[in-house]
A = this chain, B = another copy of it.
Amino acid sequence: MVDDDLIWERVKSEGGPELPLFRVRFDFMRHPQRAQTFKRLVLEAEDWVNVVALTSDGRSVMVEQYRFGIGELTLEPTAGMVSAGEEPLAAAKRELLEETGYGGGQWHYLGAVQPNPATQNNLCHHWLAQDVVAVQPPAPEDGEAIRVHLMTLEELRGAIAAGRLRHTLALSALSRVYALWEPRA
């Protein structure tokens, strides 16, 4: 496959306004097939992680919390940001322990996805943790309020059908572990 006529050239970059969570950058990109340059927004972010954590009786350790963007409660596997200098796996274990109090278990890497390649430069890494156990009380950060739920696959499917579980990155991780939907093709 010849891709050269699809690859844009970066002419220059500029910093943008200050935001929390993201560093704003503008790239001036030359169209690969025409002498035309376009200003494109890039939101730089640390990598993200999430983890499908299963207890020995096969239930998923899920967190319910208010999400400020959508303005609703969501159900999700534990998720968070990788801190500077931290390994993604260490971040996933830290977030699971902080948000739910669960730890231990056997960890398997499920791969990484691009949360939004059109504007963001980061990846979200997915893990499966099997046979996790409650090792301490949850210790969420000051800016968090979280309720833990242990859910069967049937309950996860019910939450999806009810519209309470539709965070793309949550579904992305869960769909590597469970058959959430009937195939249509």
- What is A's interface to B at a CB cutoff of 8 Å? 3, 5-8, 16-22, 24, 27, 29, 31-34, 36, 38-43, 52, 54, 58, 64-74, 108, 111-121, 124, 128, 142-143, 145-147, 153, 166-169, 171-172, 175-181, 183-185
Contact = CB atoms under 8 A, between A and B. Distances in A.
B166 A114 contact: yes
A67 B5 CA distance: 14
Nearest to A79: B118
B33 A24 contact: no
A128 B183 CA distance: 12
13 contacts: A8-B66, A21-B119, A31-B142, A31-B145, A36-B142, A40-B68, A42-B69, A69-B114, A74-B117, A115-B168, A116-B167, A124-B168, A177-B184
Contacts of A72: 117
A71 B121 contact: yes
